Amino acid sequence: MDRIEDCYGFLLGKAYQKVWQMEKAALAQYGITPVQFVLLHVLWEKDGQKGVELGGRLRLDGATITGVLDRLEKMGLIERRPDLNDRRTNLIFLTPKGKELEKPMNQVTDVVNKEVISMFSEEEANLLKSMLTKLGLGQKGDR
């Protein structure tokens, strides 16, 4: 490999960095980072999950989840409640404030997604999605 611009790891990192910055800018008005957004997103789908479930879905280390939850809790968007069935576990619940953000934050991130998609043909965008899914989430298909 003569040029770093031929290294897939490098290219993926830079593409991620760019899209992450677009999302960060879009979410800045709510004081939320992209990672905090995706964690909230999983809770909007299903409230009251365990930390380890969130980490599994988001492919994040437990230590990382702890930190993200700390910040979301400090902002008053989520709440840790003890799991009555397993005292090792907390269940993570959205606060009303956390629930309110679903619609507006999905709107601004949808705009970013459309911006990304608009750089390619529909066919290319779909292929990109399936290739990234295969690379990052292990399988070609959906989960």
Partner DNA sequence: CACACATTATTTGTATACAAATAATGTGTG
User: Interface with DNA by CB under 7 A: which residues?
Assistant: 13, 17, 21, 33-36, 50-52, 55, 59-69, 71, 80, 86-90
Rg (CA), the chain: 17
Token pair recorded at residue 55: 């980490």
Place of tokens 């492919």: 59
DSSP state of 90: E
Find the part of the chain contacting its own copies (CB under 8 A) among 52-60, 67-75, 83-91, 95-103. Answer: 52-60
Separation of CA 6 from chain center: 27
End-to-end Cα, the chain, rounded Å: 34
Residue 106 contact among DNA, its own copies, none, beta carbon within 5 to 8 Å by kind: its own copies
Residues that bind its own copies (CB under 8 A): 1-20, 22-23, 34, 38, 41-42, 45, 57-59, 106, 109-110, 112-113, 116-117, 119-120, 124, 127-129, 131-137, 142-143
